[in-house]
Amino acid sequence: MPVTGSANEPGSAGYRPDEVEMEMEARRPRVITVAFWLLIAAPVLWLPVLGDGDPADMQSVGLILSLYLWFAVRVRHSRWKARIAVTATAVWLIVVLGARARGFTAPEYPYGRVDALLDVIAVLSSAIGVALLHGHRGNAFFRRRPR
């Protein structure tokens, strides 16, 4: 076997792949997959809550939900800008749609207890999903391949 001059070339006995090659082969962390499904579950739970609202309000919130879903899908593919966007839209949705959870404390509230329960579960799902994206393993996933 001819000597190539470097022990760190592919095929040599002392070859050690650099960080970039090792990271490209690494799988998506489980926390990213869990965060993805939590982020997808939140809009599904918010849809029945939106059905009882004002039609003009439904159009703008529906657009934000669509953007939220699009960014959630892109987060799964290690897009760090999508992580920022899904965080911003999640905060907006939690503030706007989270207010409908008042059905537990005010029985005269028009949305009722079922919608309030769905709203609370959606808020928790979205908040936990975003927290997982920004946790230690989530940060490592987005740091390795910024796009």
CA separation for the pair 114, 126 (Å, rounded): 18
Contact (CB, 8 A) for 126 and 93: yes
DSSP, res 27:
P
pLDDT at residue number 17: 53
What would the mean pLDDT of 110-119 be, rounded to a whole number?
Answer: 76
pTM of structure:
0.71
What would the mean pLDDT of 115-131 be, rounded to a whole number?
Answer: 89
Q: How many residues does the structure list for the chain?
A: 147
On the question of pLDDT at 66 being above 50, the answer is yes
pLDDT at residue number 41: 93
pLDDT at residue number 129: 94
CA separation for the pair 11, 118 (Å, rounded): 57
Q: What is the identity of the amino acid at 62?
A: G
Which one is predicted more confidently, 71 or 48?
71
Of 64, 75, 63, the residue nearest 39 (C-alpha): 75
Q: Where are the alpha helices (DSSP H) in the chain?
A: 19-25, 30-50, 55-75, 80-98, 112-133, 136-144
